[in-house]
Amino acid sequence: EESINSSEKGFFLLGFADDPQLERILFVIILLFYILNILGNTAIILVSCLAPKLHAPMYFFLSNLSCVDICFTTSVAPQLLVTMNKKEKNMSYSGCVAQLYVAMGLGSSECILLAVMAYDRYAAVCQPLQYTTIMHPQLCAFLAGIAWLSGLITSLIQCSLTVQLPLCGHRKLDHIFCEVPVLIKLACVDTTFNEVELFVASVIFLIVPVSLILISYGFITKAVLRIKSAAGCWKAFGTCSSHLIVVIIFYGSIIFMYLQPAKSSSKNQGKFVSLFYTIVTPVLNPIIYTLRNKDVKGALRTLVMRNVLV
């Protein structure tokens, strides 16, 4: 029996090879989204660092989110674009395993980071007078560190268990990149333990953060409804609605992929869902946060004007 980690051979990523026309269209869309991702998220990181007005916890976490998004999409998109452009849809074993660890780690970190950002919004809306005391720089750095570290730990555990599975010569991955549920599906032994372990990890990194986010927004809604002025109400809702949109889109697609039995998803459904949370959602973050945020738009305009005039 050949386990994944004993293999010198690579894998064949089938992707959308059975529909060349769809593959060509998706190639252009993925390339465009990847470029937008790099530009948009880099702009957020730069403006958060360079604009003194944005030296606040919300923008510190937002720049962390942008950094995760750039790395997360970069772990998938370039390889996917290269594979789509080749007749031989092969990928080396080492490339597949590296992608498995990196994508799992960064995706998990984003799950925790979005929950941390919900807590930050809760502190800002529900405890405005104590906000700067609660969200002091040391706590912000600690929470961001927890998000990055928890992603690393879950990736090391989850992926190490997955690469031990015997494949019995199976090399064809009917997916767009190397992902844990897909490799579990490829195994030729009973994968109950791996599926249970994946389910537990998914509950920790998906259901727990979503529950904490919903609790935070429950308190936020309660606080907002107490605000007498309509302008105050709209401002409070405005600061939180952008985060809520990102949360619904990101968690919704990942929960669909990870919280179902590994062998149950239909042929192309899982591929499109994976495309959504690896390629589309990371582009939506900068768009949603900048278009719905006057401070970020103002800071971007100031930086651009300053550089143009210089």
Query: What are the tens digits of pLDDT across the range 3-39?
Result: 555 455 688 888 888 888 988 999 999 999 999 999 9
Sheet of 90-91: strand order equals: 90-91, 11-13, 172-173
Instruction: Tell me which of 21-35, 142-156, 197-211, 244-258 is least confident.
Output: 244-258
Confidence category of residue 267, pLDDT binned at 50, 70, 90: low
Q: Is residue 2 part of a domain?
A: no
Phi then psi for residue 172, to 5 deg, are -90, 115
Domain limits for position 66: 11-309
Q: Is residue 125 part of a domain?
A: yes
170: helix, coil or strand?
Answer: coil
pTM of this prediction exceeds 0.75? yes
Residue 2 has pLDDT above 60, yes or no: no
pLDDT at 165: 87
Query: What are the tens digits of pLDDT across the range 174-219?
Result: 888 898 888 888 888 888 888 888 889 888 899 999 999 989 988 8
Q: Is residue 252 part of a domain?
A: yes
For the chain, count helices (H), then strands (E): 13, 3
Q: Which of 70-79, 184-193, 242-251 has the highest mean pLDDT?
A: 70-79
Number of domains making up the chain = 1
pLDDT at 167: 78
- Say which residues have a Cβ less than 8 Å from residue 51's Cβ, sequence separation at least 6: 299, 302, 303
Residue 67 has pLDDT above 80, yes or no: yes
CB 118 within 8 A of CB 250: no
Q: Is residue 4 part of a domain?
A: no
Query: What are the tens digits of pLDDT across the range 87-119?
Result: 788 888 889 999 999 999 999 999 999 999 989
Q: Is residue 55 part of a domain?
A: yes
pLDDT at 310: 52
Q: Is residue 6 part of a domain?
A: no
State the CATH number of the domain containing residue 22: 1.20.1070.10
Residue 229 has pLDDT above 90, yes or no: no
Q: Is residue 251 part of a domain?
A: yes
- Say which residues have a Cβ less than 8 Å from residue 272's Cβ, sequence separation at least 6: none
Q: Is residue 17 part of a domain?
A: yes
